[in-house]
Amino acid sequence: MDVLQAGVGEFSVTDPDDLRAFMRTEKRRQMVDKVMPEAEAVRRYVKDGDYVSFDFSSFTRGPASLVREIIRQRRLNLWFAAKFTLMETTLLAAGGCLRGVDVGFLGLGYLIGKWVEEGRIKVTEWTNGTLTLRHLAGAMGVPFLPTRSLLATDTLTYSGAKVVQDPFTGKPIALVPAVNPDVGLVHVHQCDIYGNARCFGPGVSPLETAMASKRTIISTEEIITTDDIRKEPSKTTIPYYMVDAVVYAPFGCLPGGTQGIYEMDTPHFLEFMGASRDEQKMAAYLDKYVYSVASHEEFLEKRVGVARLLELKRQATIKEGYH
């Protein structure tokens, strides 16, 4: 196929055969207990220089506690898949964790745009849809997938996509390269000790993210028995053999919400937005909510409190379909 146009954005490519060999030799198929503390999961599976991805965003079922732990452990030179991201990109950048970002939605606040303009963080532009499509390609084990959505846009120019002549119709078609993250982060409603996980309500690509990633860390609101999983197998979103670590993290999305369990904490987001316009205020925010607490549990105890947690649970009035 003749290449008609190529974007200038930086991206990495994983050979599908190398990935298949990794999955065959490194992914365990045995039913083993994968429950571990959050700090251990991040220490074991998130390394400096990794490509990190996740399923959903700050407002809804985002892996907020895992992101805070990555910052707390001061990981460096990460490349981040910012599909449907809101506060995560800004927090990781403020914590000095990021080298670059694949942009679907860059993030909330003035600072992240400023740091990109100054060249402190590299970006490669995509759309939310095409960045998700790259994960689907990675999950399928193919090197790329076609799409028409980037054609005739400036986004294509600054992406890593290529436009070729469709061999069937003769028309231009954009090809987006597969992405296979070093680690995927997915927050779920329920999970057993082996990693069989359930996501209820809206989502983006929990299964595709887990399938495409070399390592997958699940954080969960609830750990249930495998017998309960087997009673309703159709509810399993991610099967155990794609999962490397299970972290028990009730309220793990805060300040975002988890559908049917608790609502997002709007005052906290307003506090974050205020901090996201000033580097000193952002440093104070990180100290308050990340560095000065040793764990997610301590964050809940010292920075949120039982009364606020109960109020956020009370506000989650739409329960249908989430249990």
pLDDT, tens digit, 9 for 90 and up, residues 255-300: 999 999 999 999 999 999 999 999 999 999 999 999 999 999 999 9
The reply to whether 261 falls in a domain is no
Distances in Å between the Cα of 195 and the Cα atoms of 2, 5, 43, 222 are 44, 42, 18, 12
The reply to whether 290 falls in a domain is no
Residue 67 · residue 97 · CB < 8 Å: no
The reply to whether 203 falls in a domain is yes
CATH, residue 10: 3.40.1080.10
pLDDT, tens digit, 9 for 90 and up, residues 18-29: 999 999 999 989
Q: Quote the CA–CA distance of 258 and 252 in Å, as a whole number.
A: 9
Asked whether the bond before 255 is cis by omega within 30 degrees of 0, the reply is yes
HSE-up of residue 32 (Cα within 13 Å, Cβ side): 11
Let me know how long the chain is.
Answer: 323
Counts of helices then strands in the chain (DSSP H, E)? 13, 12
Instruction: Give the residue-averaged pLDDT of 155-160.
Output: 96
Nearest to 254 by CA among 262, 244, 246: 262
The reply to whether 232 falls in a domain is yes
Question: For the chain, how many structural domains are there in total?
Answer: 1
pLDDT of residue 323: 63
Work out the pLDDT band at 1, boundaries 50, 70, 90.
Answer: confident
pLDDT, tens digit, 9 for 90 and up, residues 199-249: 998 888 999 999 999 999 999 999 999 999 999 999 999 999 999 999 999
Task: Report residue 185: phi and psi, to 5°.
Answer: -115, 125
Angle between helices 266-275 and 279-286 (to 10 degrees): 140
pLDDT, tens digit, 9 for 90 and up, residues 172-185: 999 999 999 999 99
Structural domain span for residue 128: 3-250
The two tokens of residue 63 are 């892996």
The reply to whether 259 falls in a domain is no
How many other CB atoms are there within 10 angstroms of residue 310's CB atom?
11
pLDDT of residue 125: 94
Task: Report residue 163: phi and psi, to 5°.
Answer: -105, 130
DSSP secondary structure letters along 17-80: HHHHHHHHHHS--S----B--HHHHHHHH--TT-EEEESS-SSBS--HHHHHHHHHTT--SEEE
Q: Quote the CA–CA distance of 198 and 220 in Å, as a whole number.
A: 9
The two tokens of residue 77 are 């030179």
Question: Quick one: three-class SS letters along 154-204?
Answer: HHHHCCCCEEEECCCCCCEEEEEECCCCCEEEEEEEEECCCCCEECCCCCC
Segment (H or E) for 309: helix 306-315
**pLDDT above 80: residue 321:** no
What is the Rg, in whole angstroms, of the alpha carbon atoms belonging to the chain? 20
Q: Quote the CA–CA distance of 28 and 213 in Å, as a whole number.
A: 14
pLDDT of residue 89: 93
pLDDT of residue 85: 81
The reply to whether 293 falls in a domain is no
Q: Quote the CA–CA distance of 95 and 108 in Å, as a whole number.
A: 15
The reply to whether 307 falls in a domain is no
pLDDT, tens digit, 9 for 90 and up, residues 42-87: 999 999 999 999 988 888 899 999 999 999 999 999 999 988 788 9
pLDDT of residue 55: 87
The reply to whether 277 falls in a domain is no
